[in-house]
Structure 1
Amino acid sequence: MSPLGSAGAVTAREAELVDRLVSAGIESTQALVTIMMYTRGHARPEIETIDIVRQYSGLSAPGIAESALANARRQNWLEEVSTGSVVLLSSPQDLPAMLASFLADPGFEHALKAQREQNQPTVTVLGGMHSPEVYESFGPIIQSASDEILLPMINTTPRLAQVKDLQAAARSGVEIRVLLATPRLAAKIRGNAIKAESADRIRAWQQNAKGIDTFRIRVTNRESDLRFASSACVDGRTVRIDIFNPSSQRSTQGVMVEARSDTNSNLALVFQQIFNDAWRRAHAAGPLGYPMSLLKKSWLPLLTILAFAAALVFSDRSSVIVAFTGGVVAGLVSNYLPRVPNIVSEMLDRLRR
């Protein structure tokens, strides 16, 4: 049996487990629902379960999923569990041992349990930000990083014990990106008294990153860019979210929740998108940070204006104006024509409202 290769499809490892049952004489669709019901932890009323398993390859035809589930139930590889208000169809807790006994292969039990653990992301409430566990658990996560670490902060001290871990990770090739509030934004959020301190901390963070190409610092003047302040995303697999009320609490008063998975979870993808959007808007710290950022984003229009001015001085003005206008129109068409369907769609949506 081959995996589908799309999101949520049967993985190669799950397909191997299914094939083991098929080799032992179990019909392929029954083997598939037996394995997938356990590894994915499905537990729903039977009619909903049928719709869930139909999404797996080979079970979509009418009657196939129903028959496969019925066969698995007859073999006691599925069971009904009453919650008091509803009856759920799910795998028995001892299914790995049952299948290992059926196959006369003790190793199958471990393999099946390992696959379920791999499929299930773990979410842990680590506790309040004052908790020693929250603080002490961050260092090992940094040390295990292999790709990137994203750190949005408002006015976090640059003297964190984990700074050495961040520097070591960056020197080993991990991309570290720290997004801080500008002194102006920090003062808006925390009060004018910390404006000078914020500037000092930004300089200290720059010093922490000095000489390390993969350790980068930027600042933002948008409060919305720092909704995840004091949170972190490591390799897209570990996301630590500091939950607090930004209108009445500091991030140090929040509660830390940690989500881990073997692949990018939807939470990690949301975190990365928000952070990356904020990072593109942000700029380097210092007096030249914003002007240089603006210059990088606007160099083409500025160059065009300078070229136009030079052409007016040194060439026939009427022909230059015609050529320049044509170039501008062509540029607008090439940039905005592909967006027309989306623009029209958005306008229609607003009219329907």
Structure 2
Amino acid sequence: MVMHRYARERRKLVDVLSGHIGLERTQSVYAAIDDLLARRLLAVTPYAGKSLLTAAPDYLVRLRAEKLTASAAALERLGRMPIERFESLGQMTDAKVLESFHEHVCSAHRLIRLSFFESLAEIEGLADLRDRAEAGVEIRVLLGAPKAMKDLRGASHEKRAKRAIRSWREATRNWPNTEVRVARTTQDIECGSSASIDGRLLRLDVHEPLAERSLMGEMLLAHEAGGNLIRLFDHSFDAAWARAIPTRRWPLIRRAAGAWRWTATAGVTVPVATALQDSAWRDLLIGVAATSLLAALDENRTRLQVWWRRLTRDS
């Protein structure tokens, strides 16, 4: 914790420390944290409405007071070590890039974000992804839409993108906790061939997608100390994910139902309320119809603005 300057919520700190020697079991990590808190070697720091655990400011003094001078000296040296925020894993075709993908995927506990341009589901590490999905890890795969890939790389890549979508949809058909979506625009897929692991590791393929293939890039690995870069990628990915099109039927139906629910309600209640004679039911339906009609206008505000701009531009 001293070397990496950890400042984490208890739950996230447990995830980080789990797997270290002597801390293989979650209960062991919790016990170690409680012990360090009781000895005031850890401190609780409020930050943005959260309680973060970090090394106490005077942990060296307390260690020496406990006659742990060797530990204090070792930690003091570690505390002066430079923080490793990111490193280059080499060119995308280097063996280290593939080998580290296996290691990083297998370390996932909560969420894996994957972004591909038009790669088929024949990548190294596909079995590792399936294993993590079966272990309860959520996996999100974002692919480039055929039109987006055509705009980005040319007409021949439209068919390649379609094959990639079919490939991933078939490969993950029976996987739990896994969803594949298709990014609509080139901007949403610019960071293709990249991955984020639990919001603590980022594998970023650095290249110029307008002029290069992803395999011509360089893979950078951002560690936890590069948190702002990781969060920037995650936020961008999540925004693209929200706009993307699901490839499975039920998520697509849920998306459509969510997008048009008030419009559908207004479409049903307005004619019924108009047809009914004066009664309490008619008054009730008029209220529902008015509410749903206003909500439908708000729901379709963006679409109406686009239509209005087109109408005024054409006129």
Alpha-carbon offset, residue 195 of structure 1: 2.0
| Match status 1:105 vs 2:69 | yes
Q: Specify the alignment match of 2:55 in structure 1.
A: 13
Q: Specify the alignment match of 1:209 in structure 2.
A: 172
Q: Output aligned runs, 1:127-206, within 5 Å.
A: 127-206=90-169
Aligned mate of 2:219, from 214, 233, 256: 256
The C-alpha deviation readout for 1:25-56, integer Å capped at 9, x for no partner, is: xxxxxxxxxxxxxxxxxxxxxxxxxxxxxxxx
Change (3 A) 1:21 1:229: same
Q: For residues 4 and 288 of structure 1, what CA distance do their matches in structure 2 show?
A: 43
Aligned mate of 2:241, from 272, 276, 279: 279
Asked if the contact 1:237–1:268 (Cα under 8 Å) also holds between the matched residues in 2, the reply is yes
Change (3 A) 1:168 1:302: same
Alpha-carbon offset, residue 121 of structure 1: 4.5
Q: For residues 177 and 68 of structure 2, what CA distance do their matches in structure 1 show?
A: 52
Change (3 A) 1:195 1:114: same
Q: Specify the alignment match of 1:344 in structure 2.
A: none
C-alpha root-mean-square deviation of aligned residues, in Å?
Answer: 3.6
Q: Specify the alignment match of 1:306 in structure 2.
A: 268
Q: For residues 255 and 240 of structure 1, what CA distance do their matches in structure 2 show?
A: 10
Asked if the contact 1:120–1:261 (Cα under 8 Å) also holds between the matched residues in 2, the reply is no
Alpha-carbon offset, residue 123 of structure 1: 0.9
The C-alpha deviation readout for 1:3-36, integer Å capped at 9, x for no partner, is: 43327x9954234615427859xxxxxxxxxxxx
The C-alpha deviation readout for 1:308-347, integer Å capped at 9, x for no partner, is: 1222223459968974685369759x99xxxxxxxxxxxx
Alpha-carbon offset, residue 265 of structure 1: 0.9
**Max Rg structure:** 1
Q: For residues 18 and 177 of structure 1, what CA distance do their matches in structure 2 show?
A: 43
The C-alpha deviation readout for 1:92-145, integer Å capped at 9, x for no partner, is: xxxxxxxxxxx771122233445566x934310112212221122111110111
Alpha-carbon offset, residue 164 of structure 1: 0.6
Q: Output aligned runs, 1:1-353, within 5 Å.
A: 2-6=43-47, 11-15=53-57, 17-20=59-62, 23=65, 105-114=69-78, 120-261=83-224, 265-285=227-247, 293-315=255-277, 323=287, 327=291
Alpha-carbon offset, residue 280 of structure 1: 0.8
Q: Specify the alignment match of 1:79 in structure 2.
A: none
Count matched residues: 255
Q: For residues 121 and 164 of structure 1, what CA distance do their matches in structure 2 show?
A: 30
Tell me, what secondary structure is at the counterpart of 2:47?
coil
Change (3 A) 1:191 1:144: same
Query: What amino acid maps onto 1:208 in structure 2?
Result: A
Runs (5+) with no aligned partner, structure 2: 1-39, 300-315
Asked if the contact 2:92–2:218 (Cα under 8 Å) also holds between the matched residues in 1, the reply is yes
Moved more, 181-190 or 319-328: 319-328
Tell me, what secondary structure is at the counterpart of 1:5?
strand
Identical columns (%) = 23
The C-alpha deviation readout for 1:245-292, integer Å capped at 9, x for no partner, is: 122112221111101127x81112111111111111112227998676
The C-alpha deviation readout for 1:201-257, integer Å capped at 9, x for no partner, is: 211101221112211101121111112111110011110111111221122211111
Change (3 A) 1:20 1:183: same
Q: TM-score, normalised by structure 2?
A: 0.69
Change (3 A) 1:329 1:311: closer
Asked if the contact 1:149–1:232 (Cα under 8 Å) also holds between the matched residues in 2, the reply is yes
Q: For residues 247 and 80 of structure 2, what CA distance do their matches in structure 1 show?
A: 46
Q: For residues 154 and 185 of structure 1, what CA distance do their matches in structure 2 show?
A: 9
Q: For residues 215 and 239 of structure 1, what CA distance do their matches in structure 2 show?
A: 19
Runs (5+) with no aligned partner, structure 1: 25-102, 336-353
Change (3 A) 1:229 1:286: same
Asked if the contact 1:126–1:256 (Cα under 8 Å) also holds between the matched residues in 2, the reply is yes
Q: For residues 159 and 252 of structure 1, what CA distance do their matches in structure 2 show?
A: 15
Q: For residues 109 and 329 of structure 1, what CA distance do their matches in structure 2 show?
A: 70
